[in-house]
Amino acid sequence: MTTPRAIRTVHTVAELRQQVGAWRAGGERVALVPTMGALHVGHVALMEAAKAHAERTVVTIFVNPTQFAPTEDLGRYPRTLEADLDKADGAGVALAFVPDVNEMYPEGFATTISLAGPALGLETDFRPTHFAGVATVVAKLLNQAAPDVALFGEKDYQQLQVVTRMARDLDLPARILGVPTVREADGLALSSRNVYLSAEDRAAAPALHRALTTAAAAIAGGADIAESIEAARRAVAAAGFALDYLEARHAATLAPVASRADGPIRLLVAARIGTTRLIDNLAVPD
Protein backbone atom coordinates (compact mmCIF):
# COMPACT_ATOMS: atom_id res chain seq x y z
CA MET A 1 0.00 0.00 0.00
CA THR A 2 1.41 3.39 -1.03
CA THR A 3 1.94 5.87 1.79
CA PRO A 4 0.14 9.17 1.01
CA ARG A 5 2.38 12.17 0.47
CA ALA A 6 2.29 14.94 3.07
CA ILE A 7 3.14 17.55 0.43
CA ARG A 8 0.22 19.52 -1.00
CA THR A 9 0.13 20.22 -4.75
CA VAL A 10 -1.55 23.29 -6.24
CA HIS A 11 -1.84 24.43 -9.83
CA THR A 12 -3.04 28.04 -9.69
CA VAL A 13 -1.61 31.30 -8.39
CA ALA A 14 -4.78 31.83 -6.34
CA GLU A 15 -4.29 28.52 -4.49
CA LEU A 16 -0.61 29.27 -3.95
CA ARG A 17 -1.32 32.70 -2.48
CA GLN A 18 -4.11 31.37 -0.29
CA GLN A 19 -1.83 28.77 1.30
CA VAL A 20 1.13 31.12 1.72
CA GLY A 21 -1.20 33.72 3.22
CA ALA A 22 -2.46 31.22 5.78
CA TRP A 23 1.10 30.38 6.82
CA ARG A 24 2.01 34.04 7.14
CA ALA A 25 -1.10 34.66 9.24
CA GLY A 26 0.29 32.04 11.61
CA GLY A 27 3.65 33.80 11.82
CA GLU A 28 5.56 31.30 9.67
CA ARG A 29 8.37 32.16 7.26
CA VAL A 30 8.33 30.81 3.70
CA ALA A 31 11.18 29.62 1.47
CA LEU A 32 10.90 29.16 -2.30
CA VAL A 33 12.86 26.67 -4.41
CA PRO A 34 12.12 27.27 -8.12
CA THR A 35 12.81 24.27 -10.38
CA MET A 36 11.96 22.90 -13.80
CA GLY A 37 11.45 19.44 -12.35
CA ALA A 38 13.51 16.33 -13.17
CA LEU A 39 14.66 16.70 -9.57
CA HIS A 40 17.96 15.19 -8.42
CA VAL A 41 20.13 15.28 -5.30
CA GLY A 42 21.20 18.83 -6.10
CA HIS A 43 17.59 20.02 -5.95
CA VAL A 44 17.04 18.11 -2.73
CA ALA A 45 20.05 19.95 -1.26
CA LEU A 46 18.24 23.24 -1.99
CA MET A 47 15.12 21.98 -0.23
CA GLU A 48 17.14 20.77 2.75
CA ALA A 49 18.96 24.12 2.95
CA ALA A 50 15.61 25.93 2.97
CA LYS A 51 14.78 24.41 6.37
CA ALA A 52 17.38 26.63 8.02
CA HIS A 53 15.60 29.76 6.80
CA ALA A 54 11.86 29.08 6.97
CA GLU A 55 9.21 26.92 8.60
CA ARG A 56 7.56 26.20 5.23
CA THR A 57 9.10 25.46 1.85
CA VAL A 58 7.41 25.83 -1.53
CA VAL A 59 8.95 24.09 -4.54
CA THR A 60 7.83 25.13 -8.01
CA ILE A 61 7.90 22.63 -10.86
CA PHE A 62 7.50 24.36 -14.21
CA VAL A 63 9.38 23.76 -17.47
CA ASN A 64 9.58 27.39 -18.51
CA PRO A 65 9.28 27.70 -22.30
CA THR A 66 10.48 31.30 -22.48
CA GLN A 67 14.05 30.39 -21.50
CA PHE A 68 14.43 27.91 -24.36
CA ALA A 69 15.49 29.07 -27.81
CA PRO A 70 13.68 27.53 -30.82
CA THR A 71 16.72 25.29 -31.44
CA GLU A 72 16.91 24.01 -27.84
CA ASP A 73 15.55 20.97 -26.07
CA LEU A 74 12.20 22.12 -24.61
CA GLY A 75 10.45 19.03 -25.95
CA ARG A 76 13.22 16.70 -24.76
CA TYR A 77 13.51 18.19 -21.28
CA PRO A 78 12.74 15.36 -18.82
CA ARG A 79 9.36 15.52 -17.12
CA THR A 80 9.08 13.26 -14.08
CA LEU A 81 6.37 14.85 -11.96
CA GLU A 82 5.43 11.90 -9.75
CA ALA A 83 9.05 11.15 -8.91
CA ASP A 84 9.65 14.86 -8.34
CA LEU A 85 6.79 15.06 -5.86
CA ASP A 86 8.14 12.02 -4.02
CA LYS A 87 11.57 13.67 -3.69
CA ALA A 88 10.10 16.97 -2.53
CA ASP A 89 7.87 15.18 -0.05
CA GLY A 90 10.84 13.24 1.30
CA ALA A 91 12.72 16.51 1.78
CA GLY A 92 9.90 17.91 3.92
CA VAL A 93 8.58 20.40 1.37
CA ALA A 94 5.13 21.62 2.35
CA LEU A 95 3.77 22.76 -1.02
CA ALA A 96 4.43 22.09 -4.70
CA PHE A 97 3.28 24.73 -7.17
CA VAL A 98 2.83 23.00 -10.53
CA PRO A 99 1.26 25.49 -12.96
CA ASP A 100 0.61 24.89 -16.63
CA VAL A 101 1.82 27.25 -19.34
CA ASN A 102 -1.49 29.10 -19.55
CA GLU A 103 -1.43 29.83 -15.82
CA MET A 104 2.02 31.40 -16.09
CA TYR A 105 1.62 33.01 -19.51
CA PRO A 106 -2.09 33.65 -20.14
CA GLU A 107 -3.35 34.79 -23.52
CA GLY A 108 -2.02 38.23 -24.35
CA PHE A 109 1.03 37.99 -22.06
CA ALA A 110 3.43 40.63 -23.36
CA THR A 111 5.98 41.52 -20.67
CA THR A 112 9.61 40.54 -20.24
CA ILE A 113 12.46 41.88 -18.12
CA SER A 114 15.34 43.68 -19.82
CA LEU A 115 18.73 42.80 -18.37
CA ALA A 116 22.31 44.05 -18.35
CA GLY A 117 25.13 43.70 -15.81
CA PRO A 118 25.87 40.02 -15.02
CA ALA A 119 23.48 38.90 -17.78
CA LEU A 120 25.79 40.17 -20.50
CA GLY A 121 28.18 37.71 -22.14
CA LEU A 122 28.99 34.07 -21.33
CA GLU A 123 25.61 32.28 -21.66
CA THR A 124 23.98 35.11 -23.60
CA ASP A 125 26.69 34.90 -26.27
CA PHE A 126 25.23 31.49 -27.10
CA ARG A 127 21.64 31.72 -25.78
CA PRO A 128 20.68 35.39 -26.30
CA THR A 129 17.10 35.15 -24.96
CA HIS A 130 17.77 32.73 -22.11
CA PHE A 131 18.13 35.06 -19.14
CA ALA A 132 15.23 37.28 -20.16
CA GLY A 133 13.05 34.18 -19.90
CA VAL A 134 14.63 33.14 -16.60
CA ALA A 135 14.33 36.60 -15.05
CA THR A 136 10.72 36.99 -16.13
CA VAL A 137 9.56 33.66 -14.72
CA VAL A 138 11.54 34.08 -11.50
CA ALA A 139 10.13 37.57 -10.97
CA LYS A 140 6.64 36.13 -11.45
CA LEU A 141 7.30 33.30 -8.99
CA LEU A 142 8.71 35.69 -6.39
CA ASN A 143 5.62 37.86 -6.72
CA GLN A 144 3.25 34.90 -6.68
CA ALA A 145 4.75 33.08 -3.68
CA ALA A 146 6.02 36.16 -1.79
CA PRO A 147 8.73 34.13 -0.01
CA ASP A 148 11.08 35.41 2.65
CA VAL A 149 13.97 33.62 0.92
CA ALA A 150 14.49 31.94 -2.45
CA LEU A 151 17.23 29.38 -2.99
CA PHE A 152 19.18 28.75 -6.21
CA GLY A 153 22.06 26.39 -6.93
CA GLU A 154 25.52 27.76 -7.59
CA LYS A 155 25.90 25.29 -10.47
CA ASP A 156 23.96 27.82 -12.57
CA TYR A 157 26.23 30.58 -11.31
CA GLN A 158 25.50 33.25 -13.88
CA GLN A 159 21.77 32.68 -13.36
CA LEU A 160 22.27 33.13 -9.61
CA GLN A 161 24.01 36.47 -10.17
CA VAL A 162 21.34 37.61 -12.66
CA VAL A 163 18.51 36.76 -10.25
CA THR A 164 20.32 38.38 -7.33
CA ARG A 165 20.85 41.59 -9.31
CA MET A 166 17.28 41.59 -10.59
CA ALA A 167 15.77 41.17 -7.12
CA ARG A 168 17.96 43.97 -5.78
CA ASP A 169 17.26 46.33 -8.69
CA LEU A 170 13.49 45.78 -8.60
CA ASP A 171 13.28 45.99 -4.79
CA LEU A 172 11.82 42.50 -4.54
CA PRO A 173 11.72 41.67 -0.83
CA ALA A 174 12.83 38.04 -1.02
CA ARG A 175 16.40 37.32 0.00
CA ILE A 176 18.22 35.37 -2.73
CA LEU A 177 20.51 32.62 -1.45
CA GLY A 178 23.01 30.49 -3.36
CA VAL A 179 23.59 26.86 -2.39
CA PRO A 180 26.89 25.11 -3.25
CA THR A 181 26.98 22.76 -6.23
CA VAL A 182 26.39 19.09 -5.50
CA ARG A 183 28.77 16.79 -7.38
CA GLU A 184 29.22 13.15 -8.20
CA ALA A 185 32.22 11.42 -6.59
CA ASP A 186 34.30 12.12 -9.73
CA GLY A 187 33.49 15.85 -9.67
CA LEU A 188 30.75 16.06 -12.30
CA ALA A 189 28.18 18.68 -11.29
CA LEU A 190 24.71 17.20 -10.91
CA SER A 191 22.34 18.33 -13.67
CA SER A 192 19.04 17.16 -15.08
CA ARG A 193 20.75 17.01 -18.47
CA ASN A 194 23.30 14.41 -17.31
CA VAL A 195 20.75 11.72 -18.23
CA TYR A 196 21.49 12.51 -21.89
CA LEU A 197 25.17 11.50 -21.58
CA SER A 198 26.23 8.26 -23.24
CA ALA A 199 28.48 5.97 -21.21
CA GLU A 200 31.52 7.22 -23.12
CA ASP A 201 30.57 10.86 -22.69
CA ARG A 202 29.82 10.34 -18.99
CA ALA A 203 33.32 8.93 -18.51
CA ALA A 204 34.83 12.02 -20.13
CA ALA A 205 32.56 14.61 -18.49
CA PRO A 206 34.52 15.08 -15.21
CA ALA A 207 37.30 16.68 -17.29
CA LEU A 208 35.35 19.95 -16.98
CA HIS A 209 35.70 20.05 -13.22
CA ARG A 210 39.32 18.86 -13.32
CA ALA A 211 40.25 21.64 -15.72
CA LEU A 212 38.59 24.27 -13.50
CA THR A 213 40.22 22.85 -10.38
CA THR A 214 43.68 22.91 -11.96
CA ALA A 215 43.24 26.46 -13.27
CA ALA A 216 41.85 27.75 -9.97
CA ALA A 217 44.77 26.29 -8.04
CA ALA A 218 47.27 27.74 -10.50
CA ILE A 219 45.73 31.23 -10.32
CA ALA A 220 45.55 31.06 -6.52
CA GLY A 221 49.24 30.17 -6.53
CA GLY A 222 50.13 33.26 -8.53
CA ALA A 223 50.10 31.93 -12.09
CA ASP A 224 49.06 34.23 -14.95
CA ILE A 225 45.29 34.19 -15.38
CA ALA A 226 45.29 34.19 -19.18
CA GLU A 227 47.83 31.37 -19.37
CA SER A 228 45.97 29.29 -16.78
CA ILE A 229 42.68 29.73 -18.64
CA GLU A 230 44.22 28.80 -21.95
CA ALA A 231 45.68 25.62 -20.44
CA ALA A 232 42.23 24.74 -19.08
CA ARG A 233 40.67 25.27 -22.49
CA ARG A 234 43.19 22.91 -24.05
CA ALA A 235 42.46 20.27 -21.40
CA VAL A 236 38.72 20.49 -22.01
CA ALA A 237 39.18 20.19 -25.78
CA ALA A 238 41.54 17.23 -25.34
CA ALA A 239 38.82 15.43 -23.36
CA GLY A 240 36.50 15.59 -26.38
CA PHE A 241 34.44 18.68 -25.58
CA ALA A 242 33.47 21.43 -28.02
CA LEU A 243 34.00 24.54 -25.92
CA ASP A 244 31.53 27.42 -25.84
CA TYR A 245 33.48 29.38 -23.24
CA LEU A 246 35.87 29.01 -20.35
CA GLU A 247 36.50 32.34 -18.65
CA ALA A 248 37.74 33.99 -15.46
CA ARG A 249 35.28 36.62 -14.23
CA HIS A 250 34.66 38.80 -11.20
CA ALA A 251 32.62 36.66 -8.81
CA ALA A 252 29.85 39.23 -8.29
CA THR A 253 29.65 41.34 -11.44
CA LEU A 254 30.95 38.70 -13.91
CA ALA A 255 33.08 41.40 -15.52
CA PRO A 256 36.34 40.17 -17.13
CA VAL A 257 39.38 40.13 -14.85
CA ALA A 258 43.06 40.45 -15.73
CA SER A 259 44.66 39.92 -12.32
CA ARG A 260 43.89 38.87 -8.75
CA ALA A 261 43.75 42.56 -7.86
CA ASP A 262 40.52 42.89 -9.88
CA GLY A 263 38.58 41.18 -7.11
CA PRO A 264 37.27 37.71 -6.18
CA ILE A 265 37.38 35.44 -9.21
CA ARG A 266 35.00 32.78 -10.48
CA LEU A 267 35.88 30.42 -13.34
CA LEU A 268 32.95 29.50 -15.60
CA VAL A 269 32.72 26.96 -18.41
CA ALA A 270 30.15 25.72 -20.91
CA ALA A 271 30.96 22.96 -23.36
CA ARG A 272 29.29 20.27 -25.40
CA ILE A 273 30.07 16.58 -25.47
CA GLY A 274 28.03 14.35 -27.73
CA THR A 275 24.56 15.89 -27.81
CA THR A 276 24.76 17.33 -24.29
CA ARG A 277 25.76 20.82 -23.17
CA LEU A 278 27.23 20.99 -19.69
CA ILE A 279 28.08 24.03 -17.54
CA ASP A 280 30.16 24.33 -14.40
CA ASN A 281 32.00 26.92 -12.33
CA LEU A 282 34.46 27.18 -9.49
CA ALA A 283 35.72 29.89 -7.16
CA VAL A 284 39.41 30.76 -7.16
CA PRO A 285 40.56 30.46 -3.52
CA ASP A 286 41.58 33.72 -1.85
**Residue among 43, 130, 209, 250 flagged as catalytic:** 43
| Global pTM value | 0.95
Indicate left, alpha or beta for 240 from its phi (over 0: left) and psi (-120 to 50: alpha): left
SS3 96: strand
Can you give the pLDDT of all 286 residues of the chain as single tens digits? 567 899 999 999 999 999 999 999 999 999 999 999 999 999 999 999 999 999 999 999 999 999 998 877 788 888 999 999 999 999 999 999 999 999 999 999 999 999 999 999 999 999 999 999 999 999 999 999 999 999 999 999 999 999 999 999 999 999 999 999 999 999 999 998 899 999 999 999 999 999 999 999 999 999 999 999 999 999 999 999 999 999 999 999 999 999 999 999 999 999 999 999 999 999 999 8
Q: Is 282 annotated as a binding residue?
A: no
Known catalytic membership, residue 209? no
- Going along the chain from its start, the domains and CATH numbers come out as 8-179 (3.40.50.620), 192-283 (3.30.1300.10)
Q: Is 37 annotated as a binding residue?
A: yes
Report the pLDDT value the prediction gives residue 3, as an integer from 0 to 100.
75
Report the pLDDT value the prediction gives residue 74, as an integer from 0 to 100.
86
Contacts of 7 by beta carbon, 8 Å cutoff, 6+ apart: 85, 88, 89, 93, 94, 95, 96
In this structure, the strands spanning 276-283 and 265-273 are antiparallel
Report the pLDDT value the prediction gives residue 4, as an integer from 0 to 100.
87
- Give 117-166 pLDDT, tens digit per residue: 999 999 999 999 999 999 999 999 999 999 999 999 999 999 999 999 99
Q: Is 43 annotated as a binding residue?
A: yes
Q: Is 209 annotated as a binding residue?
A: no
Q: Is 236 annotated as a binding residue?
A: no
Q: Is 192 annotated as a binding residue?
A: yes
- Please give the Cα distance from 32 to 209 (Å, whole number): 29
